[in-house]
């Protein structure tokens, strides 16, 4: 049954129901021709009330008392909507119950269609409303970085954000604000300004050049060397003369000795840190494939405060340690480092650019300090607040500055406090769209913010603001042009990372422990590549405006050498991801999200596949049809038989279907996961199942991926499952993706009254061969995106 | 909840400190407390874990792994699951049978939010109510530098029915839990800015700033739609809360943050995270202990794992500890023959960490004569809102400490299902000197727990 509880949850979490609806009283019940009481109710009585009536309320649904007033009663509207879906998909009534006659089915559907459509129209123009929301942690971090042009950590102290019932981290209702959170906003604002506005004298610039490693030994029997294979590192220590703040640059002069034949590439990784006895206290600065012959100079830039540094004068390991590593262990030629140069801190002049961006050069600085402060405030506020600022607001800030100045020994201290105030203001922390008891169109500044937090997870850039100021952003052609530009911009990567993570719950990868005994070859750092594969697929589809079909079934996959090795695909060299056409057995095994290791692993137990988790993933994430959670005090499966654990998962799951308390839901869950049984816990293809039976023992079982799907069709394995999904659930998937993107773009959950808009977008999306880039364009063009 | 009227003669701590001078030692003087006879500090803590405990069927042959002890009363016998608590027998009571009646009907995995609140979330559009610990914190706020310490392994608030905090403020809004040991330590004991000249100036300017921002925010609120206004009130309340904090910081500014000894520092593993459960949980307990010992706060909560079976970072704790399955599956196997022992071992692991904390509290004298100790001045509730997984009844609970607050221990007490858990919450509040007449659906004190 469709998950009513979840729908109800969604709505509840939206707090007060949007029942301030000013719709007049609409007679409940019935479409134009069909009378509920005389025609519909008897059918329901015969077929449905047994399980959804006074005695039982399976799936928490009770039909005999359900209101037929879909306009006033949102609960009822959503429940009837779910009923229609279950009927349309043939999921209800269940097999073992009396089937509906064709006439009965048509009558029911006809009444449902008319009633739902009519109610949707009546409620429609009210729609769901976006609730004022604050920036989440990621958006805050990105916004501060872009506001100050300084890539350091700003949000590390913030408590994790609340997640919405639909799994999103940008939902206004779930993003709470509390005292302790606010306290850290103030702290973060002050810290940031302390980093940006520098009152220290110009620092000494250190330059060090090394031609040999300076260290004698390292962890794990690694030997210092210039020639880097598996067991060597180029390792240098700067004892005293290094900066603790600011940008630095490392230049590595190196070459690789390539054989004639094409083969694995060396991969250079550069780490900065301080401990030789553990790998924890060093961080990756950069990595890249070495693809070309000859000696070349590779240059990497970073901020030293983002790396672990020793406390000066303390500890066993003084000094900054830089190491160069060749991480490719698949027989790549050695990488030879000829020299390494470190230089820092880097700045064009003092104070550095990010300081001058806030405290600009001006004669007023010393002659007329208060006038200068005014200029600083006038330049800063509109950027920080992403909108024009009123004179009265400026005035409050300048007055505050003046008060502060009397108490502060320096100008800088007073102006820092003043600007910090701007960063704890609601105009910075929130996406404010005021004056809106009734729906209204966004003004162009609000639109620009909505757009850039949607497509970039950060503040609008200068180009977008220029479009706003010249008054053209709201013109459809200009808007479309901006959306294309933004998708093409590197910052859209932030959208890809945020959206894929929230849509597909990629964080689940990190919540899992892979059993080392059962998967001795699995390296935990591969999970990073797994995650990248999913992001890379989305990015590739978006960048090239490809069809969302590739999420379901695809003739290519995004791979780098490590993941290719994991999948058993040969001939892929280098750590960068690229599309790889599938051939041979791989063509039927891989392609699409459901065959990605990230998703298969995240939805495993860490020891074996988990058909239930995989099935729930498929229904919840890909079809937007999450199964109901287990009821309270759920009876446990009768599994006291000690041999139960030795049974194949398929046999174990049969207990679900044999137990009537479980069967109703699990018939609609288990088969989806069983069809993915060809993949083990880490997403590798398997010919047999190694099944742990307790006490560290395992048994081997044959792979069986046959499944009877809820509509009675049978599939055997991933290839047929994908085919089925594409043939029979394409629209449902399209609708699910549209909904998820819409939820993300609006920062709110959807409700019944949004159905019409979702349908329209879905129709257009499907007609457009499900091109994702065009879908983003279409979402931005909707009134719901452009209005509050 | 009913509050007794405030005593008009009560001294304001700030005035008091100003008058007495900064050199005054910290532990509050009795005349400042809201309850006149409370000569000694009284503290409250709550520790929570999800998904229930091992309750092997009687015929399983493995009842030694049962969480609940054998036999009731003073002669009860510890099983393996709670074995580590044996040395603390006289400082704790094991409670059986209690639960929140209103919560029994909701999903088994929806009940963590209500452990300290007792309300049926689903009947309240998922809005919670003031939690027991925060009622105490609001009362005791002025006694210490921090009103409360709210922690969880997952941090933040999670989502309703899968919350990652145990604590809810007076509006029923979840209080974000902190989960980074280093950050919590800095907050409690870091030298911070407050002690420097710059820090003092910033405290003053912070006050002005917050006034202005509040004013500004009020203007913004006036221009918002009705629904937005409701949401935006969170922001206004946050500013007010921070104003109070700043005000309090000013009152405390002349008192240096408490000293932490080198031994303390050795024990703390501030860089530990959820990848190493042994260290992480130990460090979180250590932080509560230090916060209490230094009288930095009188109220602390720690949620070891959330009920978000798919989302909690603690889900993999048992796997990391070599117990095979993830937490949720481990707990689900409570009635499977091969599932009893692993779950019992997990229970035992949690009990061992808890025992370590209690032990340290007991070993710390709380007055010069050494006649009382930290544990005697602190009542601690430890447990879960599931007995076996999904079952919101018969919560497995330990009440520890508080002998100086009137508690009498050394029993395993079973209660009838008609007794609401709120009676325990009420008892804890009252014994901590909080003048409440009732809590949630409480109908009486649990007088059998008192000496």
Q: Where residue A275 sits, what CATH number does that domain have? A: 2.60.120.260
Q: What is the pLDDT of residue B341?
A: 92
A22 and A149: one domain?
no
The whole-angstrom distance between residue B431's C-alpha and the CA centroid of its chain comes to: 16
Residue A351: inside a domain, yes or no? Answer: no
Which of A66, A95, A124 is the last residue in one of the domains? A124
Judge if A663 and A775 occupy the same domain.
Answer: no
Chain A positions touching B150 (Cβ under 8 A) are 180
Task: Return the DSSP state at B199.
Answer: H
Q: In what order do the strands lie in the sheet with B43-48?
A: B149-152, B299-303, B43-48, B378-383, B397-400, B92-96, B412-414
| Chain B residues touching A633 at Cβ < 8 A | 108, 390-392
Domain termination residue (choose one: A417, A432, A447): A432
Q: Are residues A234 and A319 in the same domain?
A: yes
Same domain, A112 and A189: no
Q: Are residues A120 and A101 in the same domain?
A: yes
Longest dimension (CA), chain B: 70
What span, in angstroms and rounded, lies between the C-alpha atoms of A16 and A490?
Answer: 39
pLDDT score of B1 more than 50: no
Q: A173-177, A606-610, B255-259, B284-288: which range is least confident on average? A: B255-259
Model pLDDT, residue A596:
98
Residue A495 lies in a domain: no
A258-262 CB contacts, 8 Å cutoff, 24+ apart: A258/A293, A258/A333, A259/A333, A262/A573
B45 neighbors B301 (Cβ within 8 angstroms): yes
A512 in contact with B at a CB cutoff of 8 Å?
yes
Stretch A526-540: mean pLDDT, rounded?
97
The closest of A550, A542, A626 to A595, measured between CA atoms, is A550
A15 or A74: which carries more pLDDT confidence? A74
Chain B interface includes A439 (CB < 8 A): no
Spatial contact of A107 and A35, defined as CB atoms under 8 Å apart = no
Q: Is A639 left (phi over 0), alpha (psi -120 to 50) or beta?
A: alpha
Is A159 within 8 Å of B177 when comparing Cβ atoms?
yes
Phi (first) and psi of residue A727, to 5 degrees: -75, -40
**Rounded to whole angstroms, how far apart are CA atoms A14 and B228?**
11
DSSP strand pairing (B92-96 vs B412-414): parallel
Burial code of A96-119, b = ≥16 C-beta within 10 A, e = fewer?
A: eeeebeeebbebbeebbeebbbbb
Q: Give the minimum alpha-carbon distance from B409 to chain A in angstroms, rounded to a whole number.
A: 32
The answer to whether residue A265 sits within a structural domain is: yes
From CA B440, how far away is CA B100, in angstroms rounded?
10
Q: Residue A167 CA to chain centroid, in angstroms?
A: 9
**Please, which pLDDT band fits residue A308 given cuts at 50, 70 and 90?**
confident
Mutate to test the interface with A, among B157, B163, B188, B273 (most CBs of A within 10 A): B157
B177: contact with A, CB 8 A cutoff = yes
How confident is the model over A691-704, as pLDDT tens digits? Answer: 777 667 788 889 99
Indicate whether A527 belongs to any domain.
yes
DSSP state of B384: -
Residue B107's CB is within 10 A of a number of other CB atoms, namely 21
Q: Is residue A490 part of a domain?
A: no
Residue A631, chain B, CB below 8 Å: the answer is yes
Q: Is the pLDDT of residue A524 over 70?
A: yes
In this structure, are A595 and A534 located in the same domain? yes
Same domain for A311 and A183: no
Residue A168 maps to a domain: yes
Is the model's pLDDT at B22 over the cut of 70?
no
**Higher model confidence: residue B265 or residue B351?**
B351
User: Distance between CA atoms of A72 and A24, rounded to whole angstroms?
Assistant: 9
Please answer yes or no on whether A165 and B224 come within 8 Å at the CB atom.
no
Do residues A545 and A687 share a domain?
yes
Q: ipTM of this complex > 0.85?
A: no
pLDDT value of residue B32: 36
Is A162 within 8 Å of B159 (Cβ atoms)? yes
Tell me, yes or no, whether A254 and A136 share the same domain: no
First-residue to last-residue Cα distance in chain A: 34
A606 touches chain B (CB under 8 A): yes
Q: Cα(A202)–Cα(A200) distance, rounded to whole angstroms?
A: 7
Q: Which of A111, A117, A55 is nearest to A87 (CA)?
A: A111
3-class DSSP assignment, residue A159: coil
Rounded to whole angstroms, the Cα distance separating A54 from A61 reads 10
Q: With bands split at pLDDT 50, 70 and 90, how would you rate the model's confidence at A376?
A: very high
pLDDT at A269 over 90: yes
Q: Which helix (H) or strand (E) segment is A447 a member of?
A: helix A444-455
Cβ contact (<8 Å) for A162 and B392? no
Give the strand pairing for B299-303 and B149-152.
parallel
**pLDDT for the residue numbered A277:** 66
CA of B106: which chain A residue's CA is closest?
A632
Distance CA B430, CA B428 (A): 6
Q: Which residue of A has its CA nearest to B240?
A: A179
Are A92 and A241 within one domain?
no
For chain B, the distance separating the N- and C-terminal CA atoms, rounded to the nearest angstrom, is: 26
User: Is A428 a domain residue?
Assistant: yes
- A196/A198 Cα distance (integer angstroms): 6
Cα–Cα distance, A688 to A756 (Å, whole number): 47
CB-nearest to A645 from B150, B201, B338 is B338
A140 half-sphere exposure, CB direction, 13 A CA radius: 32
Domain total of chain A: 5
- A729, with CB counted inside 10 A (0-12, 13-18, 19+), is buried
* pLDDT of res. A282: 86
Q: Which of A316, A346, A376 delimits the end of a domain?
A: A346
Q: Percentage of chain B surpassing pLDDT 90? A: 58
Contact state of B204 with A13 under an 8 Å Cβ cutoff: no
Q: Which of A186, A429, A605 is opposite residue B329, by nearest beta carbon?
A: A605
> Are A723 and A735 found together in one domain?
no
Nearest to A270 by CA among A320, A323, A228: A323
Between the alpha carbon of residue B57 and those of residues A83, A129, B76, B335, B438, the distances in Å are 41, 51, 19, 7, 37
pLDDT tens by residue, B393-430: 999 999 999 999 999 999 999 999 999 999 999 999 99
C-alpha radius of gyration, chain B, whole number? 22
> In chain A, which residues have their Cβ closer than 8 Å to the Cβ of B334?
636
Sign of CA dihedral B283, B289, B293, B294: positive
Q: Is residue A585 located within the same domain as residue A518?
A: yes
A458 occurs within a structural domain: no
Best residue in A6, A159, A422 to probe B by mutation, most B CBs within 10 Å? A159
Q: Given pLDDT bands bounded at 50, 70 and 90, which one contains residue A222? A: confident
pLDDT digits over A398-453, tens only? Answer: 999 999 999 999 999 999 999 999 999 999 999 998 876 678 899 999 999 999 99
CB contacts, 8 Å: B159 with chain A:
13, 162-165, 174
**Residues A456-503: pLDDT tens digits?**
999 999 999 999 999 999 999 999 999 999 999 999 999 999 999 999
Q: Are strands A706-708 and A714-716 parallel, antiparallel or unpaired?
A: antiparallel
Question: In Å, how far are A313, A364, A602, B319, B325 from A606, measured between CA atoms?
Answer: 44, 64, 8, 9, 8
Residues A8, B106: contact at Cβ < 8 Å? no
Domain that holds residue A708: 501-728
């Amino acid at each position: 049954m469709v998950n009513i509880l979840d729908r109800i949850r969604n709505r509840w979490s939206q707090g007060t129901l949007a029942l301030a609806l000013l719709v007049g009283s609409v007679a409940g019940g019935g479409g134009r021709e069909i009378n509920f009481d005389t025609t519909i109710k008897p059918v329901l009585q015969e077929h449905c009330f047994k399980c959804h009536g006074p005695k039982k309320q399976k799936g928490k649904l009770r039909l005999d008392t359900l209101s037929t007033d879909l306009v006033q009663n949102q609960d009822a509207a959503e429940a009837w909507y779910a009923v229609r879906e279950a009927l349309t998909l043939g999921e209800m009534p269940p097999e073992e119950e009396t089937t509906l006659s064709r006439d009965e089915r048509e009558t029911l559907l006809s009444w449902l269609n008319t009633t739902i459509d009519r109610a949707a129209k009546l409620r429609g123009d009210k729609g769901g409303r976006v609730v004022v929301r604050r920036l989440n942690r990621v958006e805050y971090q990105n916004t501060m970085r872009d506001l100050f042009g300084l890539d350091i950590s700003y949000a590390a102290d913030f408590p994790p954000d609340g997640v919405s019932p639909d799994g999103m981290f940008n939902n206004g209702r779930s993003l709470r604000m509390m005292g302790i959170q606010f306290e850290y906003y103030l702290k973060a604002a002050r810290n940031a300004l302390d980093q940006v506005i520098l009152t220290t004298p110009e620092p000494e610039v250190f330059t060090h050049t090394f031609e040999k490693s300076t260290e004698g030994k390292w962890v794990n029997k690694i030997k210092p060397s210039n020639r880097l294979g598996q067991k060597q590192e180029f390792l240098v220590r700067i004892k005293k003369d290094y900066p603790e703040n600011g940008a630095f640059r490392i230049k590595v002069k190196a070459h690789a000795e390539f054989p004639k034949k094409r083969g694995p590439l060396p991969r250079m990784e550069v780490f900065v840190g301080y401990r030789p006895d553990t790998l924890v206290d060093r961080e990756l600065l950069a990595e890249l494939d070495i693809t070309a012959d000859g000696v070349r100079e590779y240059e990497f830039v970073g901020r030293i405060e983002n790396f672990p540094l020793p406390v000066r004068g303390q500890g066993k390991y003084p000094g900054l340690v830089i190491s160069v590593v060749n991480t490719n262990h698949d027989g790549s030629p050695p990488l030879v480092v000829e020299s390494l140069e470190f230089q820092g801190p880097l700045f064009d002049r003092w104070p550095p650019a990010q300081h001058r961006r806030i405290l600009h050069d001006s004669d007023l600085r010393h002659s007329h300090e208060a006038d200068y402060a005014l200029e600083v405030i006038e330049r800063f506020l509109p950027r920080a607040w992403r909108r024009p600022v009123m004179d009265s607001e400026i005035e409050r800030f300048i007055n505050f500055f003046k008060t502060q100045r009397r108490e502060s020994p320096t100008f800088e201290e007073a102006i820092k406090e003043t600007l910090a105030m701007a960063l704890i203001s609601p105009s910075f922390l929130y996406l404010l769209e005021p004056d809106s008891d009734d729906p209204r169109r966004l003004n162009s500044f609000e639109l620009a913010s909505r757009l850039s937090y949607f497509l970039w997870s950060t503040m609008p850039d200068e180009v977008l603001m220029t479009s706003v100021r010249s008054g053209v952003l709201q013109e459809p052609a200009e808007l479309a042009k901006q959306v294309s530009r933004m998708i093409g911009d590197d910052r859209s990567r932030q959208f890809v990372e945020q959206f894929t993570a929230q849509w597909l719950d990629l964080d689940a990868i990190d919540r899992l422990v892979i059993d080392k005994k059962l998967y001795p070859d699995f390296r935990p750092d591969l999970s990073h590549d797994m995650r990248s594969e999913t992001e890379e697929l989305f990015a590739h589809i978006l960048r090239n405006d490809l069809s969302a079909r590739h999420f379901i079934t695809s003739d290519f996959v995004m791979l780098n050498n490590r993941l290719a090795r994991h999948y058993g695909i040969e001939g892929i060299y280098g750590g960068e991801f690229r599309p790889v056409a599938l051939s041979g057995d791989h063509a039927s095994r891989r392609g699409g999200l459901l065959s990605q290791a990230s998703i298969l692993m995240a939805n495993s137990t860490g020891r074996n596949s988990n058909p239930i988790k995989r099935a729930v993933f498929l229904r919840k994430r890909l079809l937007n049809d999450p199964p109901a959670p287990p009821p309270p005090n759920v009876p446990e499966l009768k599994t006291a038989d000690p041999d139960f654990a030795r049974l194949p998962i398929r046999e174990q799951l049969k207990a679900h279907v044999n137990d009537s308390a479980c069967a109703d839901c699990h018939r609609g869950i288990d088969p989806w996961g069983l069809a993915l049984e060809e993949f083990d816990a880490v997403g590798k293809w398997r010919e047999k199942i190694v099944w742990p039976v307790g006490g560290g023992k395992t048994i081997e079982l044959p792979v069986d991926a046959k499944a009877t799907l809820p509509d009675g069709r049978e599939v055997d394995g991933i290839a047929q499952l994908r085919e089925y999904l594409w043939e029979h659930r394409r629209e449902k998937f399209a609708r699910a993706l549209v909904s998820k993107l819409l939820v993300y773009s609006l920062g709110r959950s959807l409700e019944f009254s949004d159905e019409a808009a979702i349908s329209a977008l879905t129709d257009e999306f499907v007609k457009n061969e499900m091109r994702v880039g065009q879908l983003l364009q279409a979402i931005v063009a909707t009134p719901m995106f452009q209005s509050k | 909840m009913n509050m007794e009227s405030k005593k008009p003669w009560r001294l304001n701590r700030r005035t008091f400190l100003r008058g007495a001078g900064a050199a005054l030692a910290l532990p509050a003087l009795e005349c400042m407390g809201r309850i006149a006879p409370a000569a000694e500090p009284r503290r409250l803590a709550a520790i929570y874990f999800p998904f229930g405990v091992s309750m092997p069927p009687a015929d399983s042959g493995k009842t030694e792994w049962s969480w609940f002890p054998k036999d009731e009363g003073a002669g009860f016998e510890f099983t393996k699951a709670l074995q580590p608590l044996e040395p603390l027998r006289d400082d704790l009571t094991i409670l059986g049978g209690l639960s929140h009646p209103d919560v029994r009907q909701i999903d088994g995995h929806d009940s963590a939010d209500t452990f300290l609140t007792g309300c049926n979330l689903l009947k309240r559009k998922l809005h919670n109510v003031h939690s027991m610990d925060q009622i105490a914190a609001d009362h005791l706020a002025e006694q210490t530098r921090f009103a409360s310490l709210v922690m969880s392994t997952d941090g933040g608030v999670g989502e309703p029915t899968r919350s990652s905090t145990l604590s809810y403020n007076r509006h029923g809004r979840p209080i974000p839990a902190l989960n980074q040991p280093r950050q919590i330590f800095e907050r409690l004991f870091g030298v911070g800015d407050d002690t420097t000249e710059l820090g003092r100036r910033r405290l003053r300017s912070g006050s002005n700033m917050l006034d202005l921002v509040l004013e500004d925010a009020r203007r913004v609120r006036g221009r918002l739609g009705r629904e937005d206004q409701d949401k935006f009130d969170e922001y206004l309340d946050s500013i007010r809360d921070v104003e109070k904090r700043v005000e309090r910081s000013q009152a405390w500014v002349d008192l240096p943050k408490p000293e932490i000894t080198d031994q303390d520092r050795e024990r703390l593993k501030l860089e530990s995270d959820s990848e190493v459960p042994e260290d992480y949980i130990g460090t979180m307990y250590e932080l509560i202990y230090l916060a209490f010992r230094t009288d930095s706060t009188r109220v602390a909560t720690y949620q070891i794992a959330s009920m978000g079976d798919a989302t909690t970072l603690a889900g993999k704790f048992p796997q990391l500890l070599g117990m095979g399955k993830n937490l949720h599956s481990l707990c689900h196997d409570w009635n499977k023959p091969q599932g009893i022992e692993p779950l019992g071992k997990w229970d035992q692991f949690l009990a061992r960490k808890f025992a370590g904390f209690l032990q340290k509290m007991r070993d710390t004298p709380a007055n010069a004569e050494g006649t009382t100790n930290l544990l005697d001045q602190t009542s601690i509730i430890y447990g879960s809102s599931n007995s076996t997984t999904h079952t919101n009844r018969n919560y497995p609970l330990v009440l520890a400490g508080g002998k100086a607050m009137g508690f009498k221990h050394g029993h395993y007490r079973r209660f009838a299902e008609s007794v609401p858990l709120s009676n325990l919450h009420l008892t804890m509040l009252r014994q901590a000197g909080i003048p409440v007449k009732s809590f949630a659906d409480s109908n009486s004190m649990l007088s059998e727990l008192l000496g």
